[in-house]
Structures are given as C-alpha cells and as structure tokens.
C-alpha cells in the first residue's frame, strides 16, 4: 500500500512569505506545498497538506488522520509552545509525528525553546527553512520503512 503522510501547519503559517522574511524566508505556504508534492512524487508517497489557525481544528485533523495517514509532519506554529491539547491529541492518535519548524526555535526567545510537541514526536527538524519540509518527508519515509 502507498504510504500516506499528512503535513499539517498551524497558526499564521498561511501568511508565510508576506512578512519577517529574515526569520521565515520568502517562500509562501503554497510554494512549500508544491515543494512537498514534488518530493512526494519522487518518494512515491501520497500527501495531504493542510493549515489552520485554530487549535481545535488542528486537534480534529490529527484525530481524522487515524486510519487514513501513516504519519504526520506537524508545524504547530506558536501552539508548539502552549498546547497541551495538541500534545494529548498526538499521544492519543498513536501515529508517528515529526515536529517541524522553519526557524531554529532553540536559538530564539526562551518561550520558543520549550515544545509541548517534542516529548510525543518521533523527532524534530528545525532551522532549515522551507527545505525542512522535504527533509521531514524523507525522515518519515525512512521511519515508516524501518518500522515495517
Ligand atoms: O519556525 C517555525 O516554523 C515556527 O513554528 C513558526 C511560528 C512560531 O510561532 C514558532 O515559534 C516557530 C510562527 C509562524 C508565523 O508565521 C508568520 C508568517 C508571516 C509573517 C509573520 C509570521
């Protein structure tokens, strides 16, 4: 069966490419989606790409991923640093989740250096800008292939 990965993006990431290019780059979320589609083709996997500014909607999308996708790549945006609800959702769906950030959260403000996602993720990729997305896809495929 073809591997299927959900790539989920949190609050404000719909505005990528419009402001703060020095932190987040000038690539838009649509550009990143195209990058992911191209890498998915190369890897021979299916992806679904989604974004929401709402914590509950992100929880709902994680729940809905169960039995549909084999893994999740999650850039939870600012909810990374605040959301016990997302942490619990990840624990409850029992799907491998890779935490992803465009910026290196460990080199930024103290409040960004704590992640509620990290303890329930299989790994974290951060600091590589948009290139982190295809990197995370490679990592997920490698994890899923090893697991079988
Ligand atoms: O580096 C990342 O990917 C972040 O998840 C991005 C979040 C931030 O809260 C996290 O600490 C790290 C913020 C995304 C905000 O995106 C913007 C897009 C355009 C203009 C301003 C912000």
Query: Which CATH number fits the domain that encloses residue 46?
Result: 3.40.50.9100
Q: How many domains are contained in the chain?
A: 1
What domain range is 74 assigned to? 4-147
CA distance 118 to 123: 7
Known catalytic residue at 114: no
The mean per-residue pLDDT over the stretch 63-78 comes to 98
Query: Running DSSP on this structure, what letter comes out for residue 140?
Result: H
Note the pLDDT of residue 147: 59
CA-nearest residue for atom 9, ligand 1, is: 78
- Contacts of residue 15, Cβ cutoff 8 Å, sequence gap at least 6: none
Known catalytic residue at 101: yes
pLDDT band at 28 (very low <50, low <70, confident <90, very high): very high
- Whether the predicted pLDDT of 50 surpasses 60: yes
How far does Cα 87 stand from its chain's mean position?
13
Give the chain's radius of gyration (CA, Å). 14
42 alpha carbon – ligand 1 mean position (Å): 28
pTM: 0.96
Note the pLDDT of residue 5: 98
Mean pLDDT of the chain: 96
């Amino acid at each position: 069966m073809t591997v299927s990965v959900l790539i989920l993006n949190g609050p404000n990431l719909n505005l990528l490419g419009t402001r703060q290019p020095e932190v987040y780059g000038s690539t838009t979320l649509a550009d990143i989606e195209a990058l992911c589609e191209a890498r998915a083709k190369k890897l021979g996997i299916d992806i679904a790409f989604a974004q929401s500014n709402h914590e509950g909607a992100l929880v709902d999308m994680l729940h809905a991923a169960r039995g549909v996708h084999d893994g999740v790549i999650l850039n939870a945006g600012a909810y990374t640093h605040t959301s016990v609800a997302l942490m619990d959702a990840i624990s409850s769906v029992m799907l491998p989740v890779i935490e992803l950030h465009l910026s290196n959260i460990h080199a930024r403000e103290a409040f960004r250096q704590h992640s509620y996602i990290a303890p329930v993720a299989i790994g974290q990729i951060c600091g590589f800008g948009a290139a982190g997305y295809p990197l995370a896809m490679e990592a997920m495929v490698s994890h899923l292939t090893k697991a079988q």
